[in-house]
Structure 1
Amino acid sequence: MSQPIAPTHTPDTTTAEASAGGCPFHQASAAKAPNGCPVSARAADFDPFEDGYQQDPPEYVRWAREQEPVFYSPKLGYWVVTRYDDIKAIFRDNLTFSPSIALEKITPTGPEANAVLASYGFALNRTLVNEDEPAHMPRRRALMEPFTPEHLKHHEPLVRQLAREYVDRFIDDGRADLVDQMLWEVPLTVALHFLGVPEEDMDKLREYSIAHTVNTWGRPKPEEQVAVAHAVGNFWQLAGKILEKMRQHPEGSGWMQYGIRKQKAHPDVVTDSYLHSMMMAGIVAAHETTANATANAMKLLLQHPDVWREICDDPSLIPNAVEECLRHNGSVAAWRRLVTRDVNIGGIDIAAGAKLLIVTSSANHDEAHFTDADLVDIRRENASDQLTFGYGSHQCMGKNLARMEMQIFLEEFTRRLPHMTLAQQTFTYVPNTSFRGPEHVWVEWDPAQNPERRDPAVLTHHSPVRIGEPSGHSVTRPVVVESVVPVADGIVKLRLVAPDGRAMPRWAPGSHIDIECGDTGLSRQYSLCGDPSDTRALEIAVLHEPQGRGGSHWVHTQVKAGDRLRIRGPRNHFRLDETTRRAIFVAGGIGVTPIAAMARRAKALGIDYEIHYSGRSRHTMALIDELQSLHGERLHLWVKAEGQRADYARLLATPQDGTQVYACGPLRMLDALAQCCAPWPDDTLRVEHFQSQLATLDPEKEHAFEVTLKDSGITVTVPADQTLLTALRAANIDVQSDCEEGLCGSCEVQVLAGDVDHRDVVLTRAERDANTKMMSCCSRACGKSLVLAL
């Protein structure tokens, strides 16, 4: 049985009482929640059909996210949940939080409208969206294959062809409504192609699709309910007729034909009523959310001209821009769940039978998970943590088809109409709780400036599409080299600034950046060694290693002041514990770079610390003058040419509670420190590695194993010649990654059961012993199986 969701945030004055089982508000109130708590004035006024919610759901519930993250809405009759951790936990537990009401009418209709639906034989049954276990996962597993990245690749040529043809229609007009003239019809055509539905009555299908949204998630007026019911009834009958045609030719390539073939093998799993319901729901799900998501993205990007210009100039940013648009302004505002047992959410006791509106768009703006959440940051490292697609066993199966379409649409617009701007207009939305996108997006441009008029080759250039969650490798940032200064023999320090003079991204000691080494195809990681409080620049020091992997040689021979480079990050997997009482910093050679930043921060925080810095000679040791000036007697230099040698055994002879040892340098030094720290408390020693060979696979020495994904409800086989990361992606499971060498920690996944063969250089000894997480790019199972929280 799943455990209650414990409060995930520090209680404030309103939630402290609630966490003890009391009411979250002290004042008297006429309205009461089902658990007896008074309803606050803001909660009593909450109405998701108001224009404020339609225009900007995250802003509309900001007050709740910050002050009352779980509240009861008397107008809706639902508990409303607004914070990221609570919502993700709800998605993870589909037994306690049943999806059975996801397609229930949120506004009950009158007897006349109900009679109209009955006259059409309307009987929408369970689908992948609103089905409980144990029926849901067998169906999902049976129908998953066409949604995997390998199979979705076959749809890319059609999407590209349609995108070009539709832009061709208005490219010379200078003005267009992107929704009416492209963004509705193209996703609908792709959806019909994917499903295997004949492209007939497209206008009718659009009308029916909107009616289905209003009927399920909207608040139609009494006089509108009958017309909506007729449209939904016609939609139901049309879906049935299409399905019958498909049964005559089940060999077709569409997903519905795939389901018909699966029905023959699994008649109890893929039933007639299920196929009919999925035909109707699939037409809506496969195109409406993508159409709305792209319209939202274009509106958002054009409202931020600097961001639009960046992706026009650098198409490699498009995959992550798609994730950021889905996070910041996604097409799914909220989902619904039914509570099946008494539970505590965010400190509030909620009884079985309660209904939840989980506002995913609010979760996507939760500052506790997304730094500067209201900022549009197309380089955001965790943008793909967005919950627009849901999470767990009910995550949107078509997420990667939507991602592919959005990438291609953005590429087409940025390549052919980089000069377009938003026209003056008022944006309107179909009022409903859950699915949102502007009904119109008017744009303008000067056709005389169309790039293809000057260079027809624009029409033939395409950027590769990433089918799946973007890798960290796709997120780059332009910088200018302000200075290149020698700081020791064979070592130069680079100072990097933004081309437009803006502040550089915030970072903490231990962070590193990746530098793309021009046209060499190389990408190398370098620790930041400057002052974290200096927001204008990032600084790195690079040792020239002529026999190395090529990155340092490129920096030393090719890079000069004024050059433009591309970087990724900063990211940090070597963090300073700012609560420690005492720190011992150990650096060897160029390993002084992260240690310098850590020591500077320790001094600022008033931590008791000392630095031990070893090198061959003073001429080869970087940053000595700076370190001596800042740290005085706390700095201990061990210079081999002067007969000095660090005695780590003596330094670390006596274990001390409350002391942390941070080290970066040659592998031999790190191994020696590990031996010296063996008697110390677990996790005393924290190290930064330069490179790893542990991710190299030798299939002859490996064994296959199975991984059960608890949140997704599926089992994945990892062959001997494949990494866990590769196997997860092939199964349509999103996992972030970057170095894929076991160095950076980006691909960490949570382990629930099974012994891990750890091969990374990120986790500490205690973390490995705890066996609760692993790096999916390199680590494997010791035995035959693992259970992961994915």
Structure 2
Amino acid sequence: MTTPQADTASADSARCPFDPTALTAAKGPTGCPVTAGAAAFDPFEDGYQQDPPDYVRWARDQEPVFYSPKLGYWVVTRYDDIKAIFRDNITFSPAIALEKITPTGPEANAVLEQYGFALNRTLVNEDEPAHMPRRRVLMEPFTPEHLKAHEPLVRQLAREYVDRFVNDGRADLVDQMLWEVPLTVALHFLGVPEEDMDKLREYSIAHTVNTWGRPKPEEQVAVAHAVGNFWQLAGQILDKMRLNPEAAGWMQYGIRKQREHPEVVTDSYLHSMMMAGIVAAHETTANATANAMKLLLQHPAVWQEICDDPSLIPNAVEECLRHNGSVAAWRRLVTADAQVGGIAIPAGSKLLIVTSSANHDERHFADADLFDIRRDNASDHLTFGYGSHQCMGKNLARMEMQIFLEEFTRRLPHMRLAEQTFSYVPNTSFRGPEHLWVEWDPARNPERTQPEVLTREQPVRIGEPSRHTLSRPMVVERITRLTDDVVQLRLVSPHGQPLPRWQPGAHIDIECGDTGLSRQYSLCGDPADTHAFEIAVLRDEDSRGGSAWVHQHLAQGQTLRVRGPRNHFRFDEGARRLVFIAGGIGITPIAAMAQRAQALGLPYTLHYSGRSRRTMPLLQALAARHGEHLVVHAKDEGQRADLAALLATPEDGTRIYACGPIRMLDALDAATVHWPDDSLRTERFQTDAPTLDPSKEHAFEVELKDSGITLQVPADQTVLAALKAANIDVQSDCCEGLCGSCEVRVLDGTVDHRDVVLTRTERDAQDRMMVCCSRAKSGKLVLEL
């Protein structure tokens, strides 16, 4: 939408960017007509409750930012837009995060007043400058070393609750475990003496409905009574805590901190956090685990995988949180006129930011609807929010979910979903099934014949899982010799599960047996083929060992460990014209790009260079597919490519994609200096290994904005090494600036780029860097970590 006034008639006024036939009579607050999809949007409908990402798929694809007349909110659905909103908590205030989305009537308001209900700002919905000082003061109990102390209790509770129904053959996991255990853990963490769980559950649901739901007028009074009782109970518990402030618990920690910082940790703040903390610490975890179990049991092959290999559980948790998390959406208030996704949003507007939709955005998560527990960027999900208001309790939730899944996989691996209809408490933001019925044959319980299963424990990872643990087993289905020194491998899943779809330019990482080597190879098959990955590997006598290992040791039927796919060489489908240039084995990513250009009907030319036709892999198949679009430059035929002549005249809208030997790519850099920035995009298979000469380098600081810590990077150390020394998990593979694995966002400072991944425009933007090799030109860098 744009922002013309309703009565504007000027021919050059901004126009609404939609087909007039898609518009309705309704208008948004800027005067722009509302589309039919936006007018119909209703988050209280069953479609949204059952599957929020699918319900707004149309918006993600066609209208990522729209105004909802029914809700009175602007709705945001794409990953980059939502992350940018989270990052700017000044323009996009969290002040309305706990505001009632459905205003209640005077009778219900009177009930709340009679209970003295006065929920104040909490860590969730307060603005700066109050928020960050409070967050810093209260953060310590959420650090991994402190959370570890709660692991024994979580394990004990998980064991005891499963004991209650393990021999029954049927259970409602929500009623019989997944609500009560997180609630007990939450009370333990907060330092609350265990009260009547049924009452607390009733109060917690009422709080959710009161804040994020749409209670009918006749229901509002009953909800208000429950919320009022919840408020008073929270106050009573807090009064008890004040009698013993040295006891364990986050609330007692807050009481002690109040002595040191009375202006930061106030009485009203503690009361509000007492109530909000009970909800936040258990309800989202209960819902998240129920969603995860439902999702895993709907994918029996995946469930079997984690039963067989519990080391997969930490990343399975992340993928469950991404694919079907417990937080569907958050809300923000726009404090100044702003742009979101190119749409003008006036100050005072309210935003519903659908994080569950962001988690299914294909622009960030390849093949986003695929449930892939080896997805290497699953932990990029926005279920916990992002930035300064990211959920403080996220690692407690992760720990609980890992332990619950471990207990279920160890003791009930034969569990299956029972026939049922899933229902959800209607609200915009928090979701989990009200019931989750499962069945199993008690006679097959492993502990009956193998009591030792009860003593097994998988280490819990507190925090995001390491991306290096996410390799998937793949079987070499076929090896095809393309030339004397190039073989093509077709790799398939050992159990026939579908593989992630990928985009042209993507690569996979292959672990080379026990050598400790990991090497990247571009995918050159059909991106639509979800049954196999195909790569071509050149035997290079000067290689660092990867290609020699593939040629010497791999055989048909052998199992490999593979990571990815990942893509740092993305293909622009919006280009007017395309020039593809490949040299030798560099044809592998280019072949997939050319195939995609052909499928889209884009104008393209493919230039392929090699010593001779017999040494050029894939040539025969390329000639058959591309015909006159293919230009072969065989050195032994005197057909060497004249890159300077080929690229003499710059063309706006033309993209040049190239992969091949260093000498060819260096020549392309020189031949396109006069072209528009970003016209040339290259991928390099090798470069000069970076070295650090301390006499020529300078030390600098790196501030990690999201972690709240600052590191010193000495002249003889890389940024990557400094991050790993501080236990900051950053993926890295080549450590030479080749693969793009270690890319991080830069929020401030000037980067000395030394990689061969970023384009000229990307370097000039100074908003990202490869930490394995690049450094700071300035004295300080601020990174989004």
Give the aligned partner of residue 609 of structure 2: 612
- Deviation larger for 343-352 or 297-306: 343-352
Give the aligned partner of residue 234 of structure 2: 239
SS at match of 1:426: coil
Q: Distance in 1 between matches of 2:87 and 2:395?
A: 20
- Deviation of 1:481 after TM superposition, in Å, equals 1.3
Q: Does 1:104 align with 2:95?
A: no
- Deviation of 1:384 after TM superposition, in Å, equals 3.3
Of residues 633, 637, 645, the one that matches 1:636 is 633
Q: Distance in 1 between matches of 2:174 and 2:695?
A: 50
- Deviation of 1:468 after TM superposition, in Å, equals 3.0
Q: Does 1:94 align with 2:89?
A: yes
Q: What are the within-5 Å matches in structure 2 for residues 203-242 of structure 1?
A: 203-242=198-237
- How many residues end up aligned between the 2 structures? 769
SS at match of 1:524: strand
TM-score (normalizing by structure 2): 0.84
The structure-2 alpha-carbon separation of the partners of 1:614 and 1:54, relative to structure 1 and needing over 3 Å to count, comes to same
Q: Does 1:688 align with 2:684?
A: yes
What is the letter of the counterpart of residue 753 of structure 1? D
Q: Distance in 2 between matches of 1:365 and 1:262?
A: 40
Q: Residues 289-333 of structure 1: CA distance to partner in whole angstroms, max 9, x if unpaired?
A: 011011111112222323333433444443333233223322112
- Deviation of 1:126 after TM superposition, in Å, equals 0.4
Task: Say if 2:632 and 2:639, in contact at 8 Å, map to a contact too.
Answer: no
Task: Say if 2:337 and 2:345, in contact at 8 Å, map to a contact too.
Answer: yes
SS at match of 2:453: helix
Q: What are the within-5 Å matches in structure 2 for residues 619-768 of structure 1?
A: 634-638=631-635, 656-658=649-651, 684=680, 686-690=682-686, 693-694=689-690, 703-707=699-703, 709=705, 714=708, 716-720=710-714, 742-768=737-763
SS at match of 1:191: helix
Q: Does 1:264 align with 2:259?
A: yes
Q: Residues 227-267 of structure 1: CA distance to partner in whole angstroms, max 9, x if unpaired?
A: 43333233223323333343444444433233233333322
- Percent identity over the alignment is 72
| Structure 1 segments unaligned to the other structure (5+ residues) | 8-15
Q: Distance in 2 between matches of 1:732 and 1:208?
A: 40
What is the letter of the counterpart of residue 613 of structure 1? G
Task: Say if 2:301 and 2:497, in contact at 8 Å, map to a contact too.
Answer: no
Q: Does 1:128 align with 2:100?
A: no
What is the letter of the counterpart of residue 287 of structure 2? N
Task: Say if 2:157 and 2:181, in contact at 8 Å, map to a contact too.
Answer: yes
The structure-2 alpha-carbon separation of the partners of 1:550 and 1:372, relative to structure 1 and needing over 3 Å to count, comes to closer
Task: Say if 1:469 and 1:735, in contact at 8 Å, map to a contact too.
Answer: no
Q: Distance in 2 between matches of 1:375 and 1:776?
A: 30
Task: Say if 1:296 and 1:329, in contact at 8 Å, map to a contact too.
Answer: yes
Q: Distance in 2 between matches of 1:674 and 1:29?
A: 51
The structure-2 alpha-carbon separation of the partners of 1:697 and 1:390, relative to structure 1 and needing over 3 Å to count, comes to farther
The structure-2 alpha-carbon separation of the partners of 1:75 and 1:511, relative to structure 1 and needing over 3 Å to count, comes to closer
Task: Say if 2:48 and 2:55, in contact at 8 Å, map to a contact too.
Answer: yes
What is the letter of the counterpart of residue 474 of structure 1? T
Task: Say if 2:416 and 2:440, in contact at 8 Å, map to a contact too.
Answer: yes
Give the aligned partner of residue 13 of structure 1: none
Q: Does 1:400 align with 2:395?
A: yes
Give the aligned partner of residue 332 of structure 1: 327
- Deviation of 1:217 after TM superposition, in Å, equals 1.9
Q: What are the within-5 Å matches in structure 2 for residues 491-510 of structure 1?
A: 491-500=486-495, 504-510=499-505
What is the letter of the counterpart of residue 269 of structure 1? V
Q: Does 1:414 align with 2:409?
A: yes
Of residues 158, 168, 174, the one that matches 2:163 is 168
- Deviation of 1:335 after TM superposition, in Å, equals 1.9
Give the aligned partner of residue 391 of structure 1: 386
The structure-2 alpha-carbon separation of the partners of 1:606 and 1:741, relative to structure 1 and needing over 3 Å to count, comes to same
What is the letter of the counterpart of residue 562 of structure 1? G
Aligned-residue Cα RMSD (Å) equals 4.3
The structure-2 alpha-carbon separation of the partners of 1:270 and 1:716, relative to structure 1 and needing over 3 Å to count, comes to farther
The structure-2 alpha-carbon separation of the partners of 1:737 and 1:295, relative to structure 1 and needing over 3 Å to count, comes to farther
Of residues 427, 437, 456, the one that matches 2:432 is 437
Give the aligned partner of residue 185 of structure 2: 190
Q: Does 1:48 align with 2:43?
A: yes
The structure-2 alpha-carbon separation of the partners of 1:312 and 1:73, relative to structure 1 and needing over 3 Å to count, comes to same
Q: Does 1:146 align with 2:141?
A: yes
Q: Distance in 1 between matches of 2:384 and 2:12?
A: 34
Task: Say if 2:376 and 2:563, in contact at 8 Å, map to a contact too.
Answer: no
- Deviation of 1:182 after TM superposition, in Å, equals 1.5
The structure-2 alpha-carbon separation of the partners of 1:149 and 1:783, relative to structure 1 and needing over 3 Å to count, comes to farther
Q: Larger relative contact order (C-alpha < 8 A, sep ≥ 6)?
A: 1
The structure-2 alpha-carbon separation of the partners of 1:129 and 1:97, relative to structure 1 and needing over 3 Å to count, comes to same
Q: What are the within-5 Å matches in structure 2 for residues 247-286 of structure 1?
A: 247-286=242-281
SS at match of 1:397: coil
SS at match of 1:418: coil
Q: Residues 111-140 of structure 1: CA distance to partner in whole angstroms, max 9, x if unpaired?
A: 444344334332211001111122112222
SS at match of 1:634: strand
Q: Residues 640-694 of structure 1: CA distance to partner in whole angstroms, max 9, x if unpaired?
A: xxxx999899868985535877665666776677678778776647231347754
- Deviation of 1:513 after TM superposition, in Å, equals 1.2
Q: Residues 332-381 of structure 1: CA distance to partner in whole angstroms, max 9, x if unpaired?
A: 12222223234455566554333333333333344554455444333445
| Structure 2 segments unaligned to the other structure (5+ residues) | 4-10
Q: What are the within-5 Å matches in structure 2 for residues 361-376 of structure 1?
A: 361-376=356-371
Give the aligned partner of residue 581 of structure 2: 585
The structure-2 alpha-carbon separation of the partners of 1:153 and 1:691, relative to structure 1 and needing over 3 Å to count, comes to farther
Of residues 507, 514, 526, the one that matches 2:509 is 514
Q: Distance in 2 between matches of 1:148 and 1:249?
A: 23
Task: Say if 2:484 and 2:615, in contact at 8 Å, map to a contact too.
Answer: yes
Task: Say if 1:648 and 1:676, in contact at 8 Å, map to a contact too.
Answer: no
